[in-house]
Amino acid sequence: MILADISLKRPVFATVTILALITLGFVSYLSLNIDEWPNVEFPFVTVQVVYTGAGPEQVDSKITQRVEEAVGSCSGVKHITSVAREGVSTTTVEFSLETNPATATQDVRDKIGRIRGDLPQDAEEPIIMRFDPTEEPVVSVAITGNQSIRELTKLNEDVIKRRLETISGVGSIDIQGGLKREIHIDLDKDKIAAYGLSISEIANSLKQENLEVPGGKLTKGEREVTMRTMGNMPSAQEFLKAPLARRDGVQIYVDNVANVGDVTEEAESVAKFNGKPAIGLDIIKQSGSNTVQVAENVKQVVAQLRQEMPPGVELTVVRDNSKYIRESIGDLVSNLIICSLLAIAIVFVFLADWRSTMIAAIAIPASIISTFFTMKLLGYSLNTMSLMALSLAIGLLIDDAIVVVENIVRHMEMGKNKFQAAAEGTAEIGLAVTATTFTLVAVFVPVGMMTGIVGQFFKQFGITVAFSVLVSLFIAFTLTPMLSANYLDVAHRQKQNLLGRMLAWWNQRFDRLTESYGGLLKIALRHRLKLLALALIMFVGSLALTPLLGSTFISRTDNGEFTVAVDVEPGTSVAGAAALADRMAEIIKETPEVVLTYGTASVETISLFVKIKDKNDRQRSMTAITADLREKLNAIPNVKVSILQRSGVGEEKPVQIVAGGDDINVLNEMAEQAQRIMENTPGAVDVVSTFKPGKPDIQVTVDRERAADLGVSTGNIADTLSTMFNGLTVSRFKDGDDQYDVKIRLQEGDRRGMDDLSGIYLNSQYKDSQGKSVLVPLSQVTEPVFGTTPSQINRYDRQKEIRLTANLEGTSLGEFNNSFFNEIKKINIPPGYKLGAVGESERMGETFTSMVMALFLSVAFIFFVLAAQFESYIDPFAIMLSLPLAIIGAILGLLVMRSDLSIMSMIGIVMLMGLVTKNAILLIDFAKQRRAQGVERDTALVEAAVIRMRPIMMTTAAMIFGMLPLATGFGPGAEIRAPMAHAIIGGLVTSTILTLVIVPVVYSLMDDLKGVWQRFNFKLKKTTTA
């Protein structure tokens, strides 16, 4: 081996080369970002169009459908989701993950620009922006105190929010529950009618007051002076003196027809922290920034702000996602250390020598630290995937060094000197070790190249493992032989002390086991077909157990946090929603494990964030706690709660079923049937439909013919009603450096019911004898009736939709889907309508498809590597037939540990494809070497099996014990990681045991077939020649 020869001749060069890699890795480690998951840029683009005063049906027909048609022609569109609410249309376009987000955004912007002229003229300019479905606050802060919400809002706007926005890495801050100051001019309907004033006249007059306008400049010689017209109101009450109009020579002022109030805007939402009124600040980090560092910086600034707050005002960090990330990453780092120590201990047990153990063990820290350099170059972070890759790779990193050291020791025991043993021992297994490493690379590179969300999340996993094993191979061929030649001493082994005697006893027993194994293999080679039949039965039997496995996309984790969400009944006011939220919060706080609650309530939804004690500090699991709360909260009339937990791709329910079509009534009938089936499907909880009955409204119908006769337009009617009952901003009141809206509308007593529509007058186009507009009673041109209107219209992939969502308890997503869709077949689905699963079910299907492709590519690349090593198309099949043997153990491991078949366990199965070939390569490669030296085939196989059993068992035991902390972990995020380790450990156990017997048997059969083919080919050539 060239590398080994160079390192033996130039040990200083080999040492400093490795030290340089370690130094670069250490420096890189210090600057790596820390995050929970890899930074994945989801190509989602949102188009929002505000159409003030329009109902959901108008918004849907005039804006939403036109936007959908335009963006539907963009390249790479996967799904289009739209919501039409009163006055606003929101369309979210999901592109395939291979699409560049910036390109997608520009494409959408171009398409919307082309249809801008087709949208209503009075609609506002479309707002187009990128959207991250997994985006969530890194920190949430609650502001509470003995001051009013208005005062707290001003304190937040002037001090708190400004300070937090200056923190490096903070992208945006969403405010919950704040109330801004407003100046309200509340009109008396009867008085404005008595004075003959129209609402438009009042609005236009007020727009001409409270002004500060530049007046140009005066220039004289070399001097210049600017002018300004100063018409600002010095106080809110000064608006009472604002002139409105003249009637019969008398000036009418605001004071004559209205009251002025220095108040706050109407609350659209209410925030509560532990039952107290609060203002919530949800702090979102910038894309690509260090989550943990941003959170730490925010908490430091919050601590400083606490010292500056007025007496009685408190700032509380109610949510800190960095805590879970730190604990999860810390748990992975601990696992990394424990895995390393266990792997080193296993090596020491087999080698019974601390020098050879330490020489092999150096590969672990050297490979891991060097890998950080590549992670930095590729822009990776320290996250769950990259650290889990290193944890799982511990056994692999020491494998190559184990095999090299063990073979060098064997050559020393043959009487060779250190340098000869190091050179020849490394050369003897050089090709085999290289092949085993490249089979691992062949497995993990396809994993890193997978498409879709799986590929995005596992790219860092696959590339990290691939590079780390390549570094370990380099170390095994450089540092390991050099250190062995200089420091190994077979005669140095101590057996006098207790530990030495125990290790000697263990190795003697293992040698006897190896001898017994040799005898067993001789018997196996005489009963080859029977053994193959037995292996086939075991493989088919394990596949038959597959239906017993549940399947899911990714396991939920107990992180001590969840959200309780409720859809508010249509027609409920903000005050009514807040009262319901308070009642729910009181019930939640009665639970002993609850630490805090932080919630918001609006006319649409109630959301209560709940933090409970760490799982090590409580007896009950989060599942048990949420089940208890679900029962108590659902006992409240008209309440149907949904409990949301975080997963790797955001906070959503695992079950998402979409009914799509054009007629909402047909959809509702389909959805109701599906909802009944879902509620009766075992394991389904929190079943909720997005369909809401229309909310009550008053529909003011215009008599167009009469209105035209009286000179009143529909737009005039709409503007008058909107201003009187909804309010119109006519000016901005300046107070110091701040400015506040000035709104006019009817006083509260004049906007309570349908009767208040009487006595309202409209401007006519016709003039009276004095040139004033004739006032027309509203009742003469309209007819108000009670009705209902949809609160919102949901659409999915350019069809109206009703979505059913549910959580699962005691069953997996795959099991639920099987049961649910078997029953769904009974529903009559009309042509043009559809009923299907989206969300996690869709991702799970895409994942399994990607995994099958990754598995196929891995097997193909393994074949290419083996064929290149053995220079044969036949011999690789002897090794590759060991791959199904790993499936047996993987399925059994998942069943025994009650783990589902998930994205993590499937990656573990793919990983097994590379692991199990390592053992077979070591065995077959040595057998072929012995055959090349003239040894008979079966004898060579037995010799190879006996000699290679120790390194095979050492490497397998090192990998199994190295993964035990992941398999049995109880730290944060352990539920997500454990299934991968369960599959790998189970597969390693069965494949190692069976490989030691089946692979030699298969190799001998393949060799016989090769001989038959060669004899047939020889006879064929001989016959042709003759």
* Number of domains comprising the chain: 3
Nearest to residue 242, comparing CAs of 200, 291, 207, 289?
Answer: 207
Distance CA 949, CA 946 (A): 5
Residue 309 located in a structural domain: no
Q: Which domain holds residue 848?
A: 494-552+842-1026
Please indicate, yes or no, whether residues 828 and 901 belong to a single structural domain of this protein.
no
Label residue 771 by pLDDT band (50, 70, 90): low
pTM exceeds 0.95, yes or no = no
Label residue 260 by pLDDT band (50, 70, 90): very high
Please indicate, yes or no, whether residues 635 and 682 belong to a single structural domain of this protein.
yes
Please tell me the least confidently modeled range out of 255-264, 451-460, 865-874. 451-460
Q: What are the C-alpha distances in Å from 713 to residues 192, 710, 727, 774, 784?
A: 21, 9, 20, 13, 17
Please indicate, yes or no, whether residues 940 and 875 belong to a single structural domain of this protein.
yes
Q: What is the DSSP letter of 548?
A: G
pLDDT in the model for residue 301: 94
pLDDT in the model for residue 214: 84
Write out pLDDT tens, residues 307-330. 999 999 999 999 898 888 888 888
Strand partners, 273: 276, 598
Question: Has residue 696 got a pLDDT over 80?
Answer: no
Q: What are the C-alpha distances in Å from 340 to residues 1, 404, 469, 628?
A: 28, 18, 15, 41
pLDDT in the model for residue 1020: 66
Q: Residues 614, 560: contact at Cβ < 8 Å?
A: yes
Give the whole-number percent of the chain exceeding pLDDT 70.
Answer: 97
Write out pLDDT tens, residues 496-516. 567 777 777 887 888 888 888
Question: Has residue 303 got a pLDDT over 90?
Answer: yes
Please indicate, yes or no, whether residues 935 and 836 belong to a single structural domain of this protein.
no
Residue 829 located in a structural domain: yes
Question: Has residue 495 got a pLDDT over 80?
Answer: no
Please tell me the least confidently modeled range out of 285-289, 560-564, 992-996. 285-289
pLDDT in the model for residue 289: 79
Q: What is the mean pLDDT of residues 263-292?
A: 87
Label residue 405 by pLDDT band (50, 70, 90): confident
Residue 156 located in a structural domain: no
Q: What is the mean pLDDT of residues 114-119?
A: 90
Write out pLDDT tens, residues 364-386. 889 899 999 999 998 888 888 88
Distance CA 310, CA 303 (A): 14
Question: Has residue 673 got a pLDDT over 90?
Answer: yes
Pairing of strands 314-320, 250-253: unpaired
Pairing of strands 695-702, 782-789: antiparallel
Q: Which residues contact 760 (CB under 8 A, 6 or more apart)?
A: 189, 193, 720, 721, 724, 777, 778
Strand partners, 600: 271, 607
Q: What is the mean pLDDT of residues 242-257?
A: 88
Please indicate, yes or no, whether residues 660 and 807 belong to a single structural domain of this protein.
yes
- What SS3 state is found at 767? strand
Question: Has residue 492 got a pLDDT over 60?
Answer: no
- DSSP for 246-273, please give it: EETTEEEEHHHHEEEEEEEPPPSEEEEE
Q: Which residues contact 661 (CB under 8 A, 6 or more apart)?
A: 667, 670, 799, 800, 830, 832, 833, 834
Q: What is the CATH number of the domain that holds 236?
A: 3.30.2090.10
Residue 861 located in a structural domain: yes
Question: Has residue 960 got a pLDDT over 90?
Answer: no
Question: What phi and psi, each to the nearest 5 degrees, are found at residue 463?
Answer: -70, -35
- DSSP for 638-677, please give it: T--EEEE-EETTEE--SEEEEEEES-HHHHHHHHHHHHHH
Label residue 650 by pLDDT band (50, 70, 90): low
More confidently predicted of 1017 and 460:
460
Chain mean pLDDT for the chain: 86
Residue 634 located in a structural domain: yes
Which amino acid is it at 692?
Answer: K
Question: Has residue 26 got a pLDDT over 90?
Answer: yes
Nearest to residue 927, comparing CAs of 908, 945, 952?
Answer: 945
| Tokens standing for residue 905 | 């366990």
Of 789, 824, 850, which residue is a domain's last? 789
- The beta strand positions in 690-754, using DSSP E, are 695-702, 728-735, 738-746
- In three-state form (DSSP H/G/I as H, E/B as E, the rest C), the secondary structure along 137-182 is CCEEEEEECCCCHHHHHHHHHHHHHHHHHCCCCEEEEEEECCCCEE
Please indicate, yes or no, whether residues 601 and 742 belong to a single structural domain of this protein.
no
Q: Residues 581, 567: contact at Cβ < 8 Å?
A: no
pLDDT in the model for residue 557: 79
Which residue carries 């001409």 as its tokens?
208
Please indicate, yes or no, whether residues 801 and 947 belong to a single structural domain of this protein.
no
Please tell me the least confidently modeled range out of 30-34, 509-513, 696-700, 778-782. 696-700
Residue 101 located in a structural domain: no
Distance CA 328, CA 338 (A): 15
Question: Has residue 104 got a pLDDT over 90?
Answer: yes
Of 841, 870, 904, which residue is a domain's last? 841
Q: What is the CA radius of gyration of the chain?
A: 37
Please indicate, yes or no, whether residues 936 and 1009 belong to a single structural domain of this protein.
yes
pLDDT in the model for residue 630: 92
Please indicate, yes or no, whether residues 847 and 834 belong to a single structural domain of this protein.
no
Residue 345 located in a structural domain: no
Distance CA 704, CA 714 (A): 8
pLDDT in the model for residue 677: 94
Can you say whether the dihedral through the CA atoms of 517, 518, 519, 522 is positive or negative? Answer: positive
Q: What is the CATH number of the domain that holds 524?
A: 1.20.1640.10
Please indicate, yes or no, whether residues 816 and 934 belong to a single structural domain of this protein.
no
More confidently predicted of 921 and 49:
49
Distance CA 397, CA 361 (A): 9
Which residue carries 């009603």 as its tokens?
721
pLDDT in the model for residue 309: 92
Q: Residues 555, 840: contact at Cβ < 8 Å?
A: no
Question: Has residue 561 got a pLDDT over 80?
Answer: yes
Q: What is the CATH number of the domain that holds 566?
A: 3.30.70.1440
Pairing of strands 181-187, 738-746: parallel
Q: How many other β-carbons are positioned within 10 Å of the β-carbon of residue 12?
A: 9
Please indicate, yes or no, whether residues 942 and 853 belong to a single structural domain of this protein.
yes
Distance CA 613, CA 523 (A): 59
Write out pLDDT tens, residues 200-217. 889 888 988 888 888 888
Please indicate, yes or no, whether residues 612 and 676 belong to a single structural domain of this protein.
yes
Of 773, 789, 805, which residue is a domain's last? 789
| Tokens standing for residue 450 | 């997978």
Question: Has residue 170 got a pLDDT over 60?
Answer: yes
Nearest to residue 797, comparing CAs of 827, 766, 833, 851?
Answer: 833
Label residue 49 by pLDDT band (50, 70, 90): very high
Write out pLDDT tens, residues 592-610. 999 999 989 988 889 999 9
